[in-house]
Amino acid sequence: MWFDDAIDAALDQADREHRRRRIRPVAIPGPRLVLVDGRQLIDACSNDYLGLSQHPALKARAIEWVERFGAGARAARLVTGTLEAVSELEVRLAQFKQTEAALIFNAGYQANAAVLPALFELAGGRDALVFSDRLNHASLHAGCAAAGVRQIRFRHNDLAHLEELIAPHAGKPCFIVTESVFSMDGDRADTAALAAIARRHDAVLYLDEAHATGVLGPQGRGLAVAAPGAVVMGTLGKAFGAAGAYIAGSQALIDYLVNRCAGFIYSTAPAPAVCGAVDAALDLIPAMDGERALLMSRAARLRQRLAEFGINTLASSTQIVPAILGAEDKALAAQQRLEAAGVLAIAIRPPTVPEGLARLRFALSSAHSDADFEQLLDAIGVIGA
C-alpha cells in the first residue's frame, strides 16, 4: 500500500542521511545517571538542570497531591473547574515571575503552539507581523504555522537586524518572538534590549524561558525579569523537574487566553501529581543560588576543556554547552565514543540545528557529583579523536 511504502521511503532517507532517530529504553539508577543497554552512564543530556526530578520533596508532594486530588484531572478546566490548589499554584508562579498572573499548560510545545495563534488573532491572524529569531524552537514555529503566519526572521540574536526589519512597519501591530536562552546553542538573548525595541515599536515581546527558568536571573526567576511587559512562557519539565509549562503576564492576557486559546480550552488539565511537584519545586528554587553558581562555573570549565581540543562552543554562556562537530556522522561517532567512556551526551543533527552544525549538546546539572563532572571532563578527549 502507498502509505507503508511512503513510510519506508521516509525512514530509508533518514538512515541514508544519518538522521534516523530512535527511541532507546533507559532506566534511572540514581540522580544524573542513566542505565542504557545495561551500562550505567553519567547523564549529560537531560534538562534536569537542578536535579529536581529526583528530589524527595517533589516526589513527596506529587504523591500527596495524588492522594488528595486523584491520579487525573478528569476534564478541561473550563468544564470541570480548577482545583483551589492549582489556582494558588498559578498565583505563586506569577509571583515567581513577577507578573500579575500565570496560566499552566500541559507542555511547553503545547503552550507555544496554542498561545501564539491566539495572540496573533489580535492582530489580523495570518496577516500578523511576526519577527522571529532564526534559531527559535520548533514549538514556536508550530505556533506561527498554526496561525498561517509568514515569519520575518532576524539573524540569530542580531538585534540591529531586528530593528532594520521592524522599522518599515511603524504603526502596525507587531510581535517579536524569541527565546531567552537558546536550547541548542546555550547562549542568551539580551532581554532588556529586546524589551526596549518592543517599546520603541509598540510591539509585543514573546519570550520563551524554557531553559532560563530556575537557572538564570535573581533567585532563578529567568531573564524576562529584565523585560517587564513581555508575554513570558516557561517550562516546568526542565529545571523545575516536573512537566508542563506556564504563560505569565497581565491578568487581562490570562483572561483572554482562557477565552480564546484553543490549546487551553480543549485540553484536559495537568495531572495533580505534576502540579504537586511544581508546587514543591517553587519552595526550593529561589534558595538554590549555590546550585546555580556551581552550574555556571562547571559550564565555564567544560567550555574551556572543549576549547583545549579545538572544539567550538559557539556563544554558549549557560548550562547548555554545544560541541560543534559539523557533519552528522561525526557527531554520531563522537556520541558513541563518549558513551564508551561512560557519558551520555546526544548528537543533535539537522533539521534541529542548521546544516553543517551537527553537535553534541551537553546539558549540565548541579546534581552531578564532583566525581561525575571530573569524569565528564576527562572523557572530552575522545570526542575529537
Ligand X SMILES: Cc1ncc(COP(=O)(O)O)c(C=O)c1O
Q: What are the Cα distances from residue 91, in Å, to 85, 95, 213?
A: 10, 6, 16
Active site residue 141: no
Give the residue among 43, 25, 30 at the shortest CA–CA distance from 343.
Answer: 43
| Cα–Cα distance for residue pair 98/225, rounded to 1 Å | 7
208 is a contact residue toward ligand X (CB under 6 A):
yes
By the rule CB under 6 A, 191 interacts with ligand X? no
Identify the active-site residue in 156, 238, 330, 368.
238
CA angle in degrees (0–180, nearest 5) for 97-99-103: 80
Query: Which residue, 191 or 380, is less far from ligand X as judged by CB?
Result: 191
Is residue 183 close enough to count as binding ligand X by CB under 6 A? Answer: yes
Q: Which of 48, 90, 179, 185 is catalytic?
A: 179
Is 156 a binder of ligand X (CB under 6 A)?
no
Q: Which residue has the cell 579523536?
A: 385
Active site residue 211: yes
The interface region with ligand X, picked from 82-90, 104-112, 158-166, 216-224 by CB under 6 A, is 104-112
Q: Could you say whether residue 137 binds ligand X (CB under 6 A)?
A: yes
| CB closer to ligand X out of 208 and 328 | 208
Annotation marks residue 378 as catalytic: no
Catalytic (active site) residue 238: yes
CB of 137 to ligand X, least distance (A): 4
Cell of 130: 511576526
Contact predicate 362/323, CB 8 Å: yes
132 makes contact with ligand X (CB under 6 A) = no
* Residue 183 is among the residues annotated as catalytic for this protein: yes
Nearest CA among 207, 236, 179, 306 for reference residue 49 = 236
CB nearer ligand X, residue 51 or residue 237? 237
Of 83, 107, 338, 345, which lies in the binding site for ligand X, with binding defined by CB under 6 A? 107
Residue number, 357 or 380, with CB nearest to ligand X: 357
Residues 6+ apart with CB under 8 A from 6: none
Query: Is 137 among the catalytic positions?
Result: yes
Active site residue 5: no
Is residue 139 involved in binding ligand X (CB under 6 A)? yes
318 binds ligand X (CB under 6 A): no
b/e 157-176 (16+ beta carbons within 10 angstroms → b): bebebbeebbeeeeeebbbb
Q: What is the DSSP code string of 21-82? A: -----EEEEETTEEEETTEEEEE-S-S-TT-GGG-HHHHHHHHHHHHHH-SS--SBHHHH--
Give 45 or 197: the residue with its C-beta nearer to ligand X: 45
- Using CB under 6 A, which of 94, 207, 245, 323 touches ligand X? 245
- Alpha-carbon span 59 to 366, nearest angstrom: 18
State the helix-helix crossing angle for 138-147 and 108-120, rounded to 10 degrees: 30
Nearer to ligand X, 184 or 380 (CB): 184
CB-nearest residue to ligand X: 108
User: Could you say whether residue 237 binds ligand X (CB under 6 A)?
Assistant: yes
- Least distance to ligand X, CB of residue 171, Å: 31
Asked if residues 108 and 87 have their Cβ atoms less than 8 Å apart, the reply is no
Residues carrying an active site annotation: 47, 137, 179, 183, 208, 211, 238
Q: Rule CB under 6 A: which residues touch ligand X? A: 107-109, 112, 137, 139, 179, 183, 208, 210, 235, 237, 245
